[in-house]
Structure 1
């Protein structure tokens, strides 16, 4: 195995590893003892799910999350890699470094000319785009939109304008417990003819992916995406 910083995907919910991860990943992960993780607890649970005999006590875990100070000195975070030992980056769900603070570690690795290897795994953004029926050649992932009323609606209008002016699919996410408020804001703000795809619980038993116009969504009564990780997509 080549010494590198391996970007290790994990399932996006209660999904068997073998359904979404190639066996090759396990072969790689078994040989890594230094991890940069969004949450130590989640990372340990994931590693044990891969291999019940994984030597957790022999591993080091450095947390890098949204709570890590943006000005924190991370210059030594890749010290094991610089000494010739492979490291891994694990996010709480899906592919690391996509809408995820692990990208800060990769940025350092690239600056230091250290090898970075992304492993194959589920990515909710790409899978949602695949299933939406929207433009897959011109799209933008916008992460989280503003939370405050007024600011959120202004941003939604801006994204909708890009859909029509640039023929560009717009993707964004929200903290799961605010999914309903986001949905309501979209219905209130966007044109009746604009199309909205809601992709929720991707790869899990709760998976829900539907594309409808805003006018059609307004006729829906109950939606099954409350408190479930969801991708919202807009197109024309």
Structure 2
């Protein structure tokens, strides 16, 4: 069986301030270029994600991006998810971004 090439899941950090307060780029240029080419994202809040992505100078119109909101916790428990559904674009070979409202997903994420 030949291995299938998969896309990557890029963890995209955002500053701990509001987008309108951001005075300078927060990603290095090579990272910004990689993120700006993406079309598929897992996000905490779509509205906040659109604001942050808009500041990066995306290569595709914001309205054309696929922003999939991660489910929130209910009653202190995270819902069960089938990762294959959430990562379908990556499993099809496309890179994806994971974007939280503030901080770095899974590393320094105040809302996690």
Tell me the TM-score normalized by structure 2: 0.74
2:46, 2:10 → 1: CA distance?
17
CA contact (8 A) 1:38 1:64 kept: yes
Question: How far apart are 1:52 and its partner, in Å?
Answer: 6.8
> CA separation of 1:65/1:84 partners in 2, compared to 1, >3 Å: closer, same or farther?
same
Residue in structure 2 matched with residue 30 of structure 1 by the alignment: 36
Superposed, 1:1-236 pairs within 5 Å as: 3-13=7-17, 14-18=21-25, 20-51=26-57, 54-67=60-73, 69-98=78-107, 100=109
Q: Deviations over 1:205-232 (max 9, x none)?
A: xxxxxxxxxxxxxxxxxxxxxxxxxxxx
- Matches of 1:46 and 1:54, distance apart in 2: 14
Query: What CA distance in whole angstroms lies between the structure 1 residues aligned with 2:29 and 2:99?
Result: 17
Aligned equivalents of 2:52, 2:24: Cα separation in 1: 9
Q: How far apart in 1 are the matches of 2:106 and 2:15?
A: 15
Which consecutive residues of structure 2, in runs of 5 or more, have no partner in the other structure? 1-5
Question: Alpha-carbon deviation of 1:83?
Answer: 0.7
SS of structure 2 residue aligned to 1:24: helix
CA contact (8 A) 1:35 1:90 kept: yes
Q: In the aligned structure 1, how far is the partner of 2:45 from the partner of 2:35?
A: 17
**Contact 2:71 2:79 survives alignment (8 Å):** no
- Greater strand content: 1
Q: Which has the larger radius of gyration?
A: 1
CA drift of 1:53 comes to 6.6
Change (3 A) 1:4 1:72: closer
Please tell me the root mean square deviation across aligned C-alpha atoms, in Å.
2.7
Instruction: Give the structure with the larger helix fraction.
Output: 1
SS of 2:81's partner is coil
TM-score, L = length of structure 1? 0.38
Alpha-carbon distance in structure 1 between the residues aligned to 2:60 and 2:15? 18
